[in-house]
Amino acid sequence: MKHPVLRRDIIAAVRSFAGLGLGVGTAGNVSVRAPGGVLITPSGVPYSELRPADIVQLNPAGEVISGRLAPSSEWRFHCDILARRNDVGAIVHAHSAFATAIACTRRDIPAFHYMIAVAGGDSIRCAPYATFGTAALSQHALSALRGRQACLLANHGQIALGSNLTAALAMAQEVEELSRQYWLSKQLRRPVLLAGREMKLVLEKFKNYGRRPVQKRR
């Protein structure tokens, strides 16, 4: 069995979904780039029952290299995203409650909060609806993710990207929290959106956002 550490990491990630508010049951799926292809969760297996050997290995075209189970029904958009985005090392797809609720309105999440920039733009786009597992859904997701690290899927859920699995899982949590905040703000009144020039400034600042060594002043 190849890539045992990555397989265990994938299982740990999907088992954390419920505790992180990212979904229940078998909803959602996770993939990680691996030498020669993609490792992805199987279809329809309760997370508590997953074993490293259950994680399916696909080649870049989505064909099974190893594994006794069928891959996630959403294998197509996982493979397509990883094939087109060299910056992405892992993908989390979740049916988290608030992100999914907003996705069911088929609306983008606008710049109601500056942290929207964490996903790479001045909004979190909502991809048009298409039946799960289809090439059409994959194309919609690719378009919505152009230049972004996350998107909503209409009447479905969310996709979050990261350079590794830890980053992708953190992005999914961020999207769900922003979705919750947006929903709450709309209960009070229409939220005041940040201007485009402010979001451009925030996006520029986000290029150096995060953990980094202290810059000594001279």
Q: Write the pLDDT tens digit of every residue in 6-35.
A: 999 999 999 999 999 998 888 899 999 999
Residue 156 clears pLDDT 80, i.e. is over it: yes
| Helix axes 135-144 and 75-84, enclosed angle (nearest 10) | 40
Catalytic residue among 74, 174, 176, 198: 74
Question: What is the 8-class DSSP label of residue 128?
Answer: P
Q: Please, what is the Cα angle at 91 between 86 and 93, to 5 degrees? A: 145
Residue 215 clears pLDDT 60, i.e. is over it: no
| DSSP-derived 3-state class of residue 93 | strand
What is the per-residue pLDDT for 200?
94
Kindly list the distances between the CA atom of residue 118 and the CA atoms of 110, 171, 177, 201, 204, in Å, as whole numbers in the listed order: 13, 8, 12, 13, 11
Place of tokens 């050997």: 53
Q: What is the pTM of this model?
A: 0.93
Residue 217 clears pLDDT 70, i.e. is over it: no
What is the per-residue pLDDT for 213?
55
Residue 74 a catalytic site member: yes
Kind of pairing, strands 90-94 and 157-162?
Answer: antiparallel
Calpha distance 55→213 (Å, rounded):
37
What is the per-residue pLDDT for 212?
52
The identity of residue 27, as a single letter, is A
What is the per-residue pLDDT for 211?
58
Q: Are 122 and 111 in contact (CB under 8 A)?
A: yes
CATH superfamily, region 4-206: Class II aldolase/adducin N-terminal domain (3.40.225.10)
Residue 51 clears pLDDT 80, i.e. is over it: yes
Kindly list the distances between the CA atom of residue 218 and the CA atoms of 209, 211, 215, in Å, as whole numbers in the listed order: 22, 21, 9
Calpha distance 28→17 (Å, rounded):
9
Q: Are 17 and 25 in contact (CB under 8 A)?
A: no
The pLDDT tens digits for 61-94 are 899 998 889 999 999 999 999 999 999 999 999 9
